Amino acid sequence: PKKIRILDSTLREGEQHPGVSFTNKQRIQIAWMLDYFGVDQIEISPVVSNDHKEATKTIIKQGLKADIVSHGRALKSDIDISLDCDAKWCAAYLGISDIHLKDKLRITREEALERAVETVEYAKSHGLKIRFTVEDGSRAEPEFLLKVCKAIEEAGVDRISLPDTVGILRPIGMYNFVKKVREVVDVPLDAHVHNDIGFAVANAFSACDAGVDQIHTTIDGIGERTGIPPLAEVAVALTYLYKSPNDFRLDMLLDLSRLIEEYTSIKPYDSKPIVGSSAYKHKAGTHLAAILRNPAAYEPIPPRAVGNRRRIVFGELAGKTGAAYLMSLLGLEKDDEGAKAVAAGLKGLRMGDLIEIPLEDRIEKKIINDK
């Protein structure tokens, strides 16, 4: 299978999430952790404040394995800031849909095309690698989108980011968006997709099917409005479903999520895939019975592999299997009568009173061996 790379934008898109604003010390730590995790590129924007500029400079100096991508507008003055930071990679974005051209930038298509080409030429002539983002490309007039992509390819652009800036594409729409561009240019492509209707992860993978080789993520999916695809879902899907040959340390995923929680007070919702507190909880007695023989019965990805852990919830659905198991955990003699009585007792428990026990490896092994 083909390798799909990850660009993590926690430090750029992530900081656009309401309530997120890191200190420079935190930015540097996040960059180190993302690099150790194994992402290919880390994006940060030095143009938003002096503080960000300092962080960008410092992170570039760390000599991390990942490329540090310095993000800004398609303006020479923003490219100059990337140069000041000693960046090797920069990214420039420019809205190219009519709504962005008319109501945000107040420029014509011709002016936008010219600005895109000039920006790429300027970066290249200063020795920078440049990714160009055709912002709101998913709503741009298709002929104009292709025209811009061809022109910046000719100007020497190194990558093109195809964004669904407002998250309105269906997976098939994202596929077609990428495919159209893929057919006219040879430049490596990025997918940057927003989650306004909940399709971000699905759309990112549609984009892969159509030919992008890099997905943008943030830790826990934080970003403008409803954010972009979370690093955890993307890295796990790449590894387990797409068999992409990356060297991710997936067992850091829970720690990465906790780090963001600590620095932002944004807690991932319980049922959030991979890192949510319920992602590996089992409640129904029939599920427990199966889990005790073979956890794969109800766990597509082993919890330890992603730094999470399995928990059993003993409550009204535990049944006799659950009751007997709870008794064995507590070291109680378990006869049939006793188990029935405990099961009846558990039936009286309601939300909030449920007993939750992490399954220790030791006990799990013993039970699995005893079967």
Site string for ligand HCA, 215-254 (x = CB under 6 A): ---------x------------------------------
User: With binding defined as CB under 6 A, does residue 192 bind ligand HCA?
Assistant: yes
Minimum distance from CB of 293 to ligand HCA (Å)? Answer: 46
Minimum distance from CB of 265 to ligand HCA (Å)? Answer: 23
Minimum distance from CB of 33 to ligand HCA (Å)? Answer: 22
Which C-beta is closer to ligand HCA: that of 230 or that of 322?
Answer: 230
Minimum distance from CB of 184 to ligand HCA (Å)? Answer: 19
What is the per-residue DSSP string for 145-207? Answer: HHHHHHHHHHTT-SEEEEEETT----HHHHHHHHHHHHHH--S-EEEEE--TTS-HHHHHHHH
Q: In what order do the strands lie in the sheet with 311-314?
A: 281-282, 311-314, 355-358
Q: To which H or E segment does residue 315 belong? A: none
Which C-beta is closer to ligand HCA: that of 13 or that of 233?
Answer: 13
CB 4 within 8 A of CB 208: yes
What is the CB-side half-sphere exposure of residue 6 using CA atoms within 13 A? 29
Minimum distance from CB of 218 to ligand HCA (Å)? Answer: 10
- How many positions of this chain bind ligand HCA (CB under 6 A)? 11
User: With binding defined as CB under 6 A, does residue 91 bind ligand HCA?
Assistant: yes
User: With binding defined as CB under 6 A, does residue 56 bind ligand HCA?
Assistant: no
Q: Look up residue 173 and give its two tokens.
A: 């729409």
3-state helix, strand, coil in the chain (%, to 5): 50, 15, 35
Which C-beta is closer to ligand HCA: that of 200 or that of 313?
Answer: 200
Site string for ligand HCA, 93-112 (x = CB under 6 A): x-------------------
Q: How far is CA 354 from CA 7, 251, 316, 322, 346, in A?
A: 40, 28, 8, 12, 8
Strand, helix or coil for residue 46: coil
Minimum distance from CB of 183 to ligand HCA (Å)? Answer: 21
Q: Look up residue 212 and give its two tokens.
A: 């992008």
Site string for ligand HCA, 133-172 (x = CB under 6 A): x-x-------------------------x-x-x-------
∠ CA 119-166-233, nearest 5°, is 100
Q: Which of 98, 95, 86 is nearest to 46 (CA)?
A: 86
Q: Which residues bind ligand HCA (CB under 6 A)?
A: 13, 91, 93, 133, 135, 161, 163, 165, 192, 194, 224
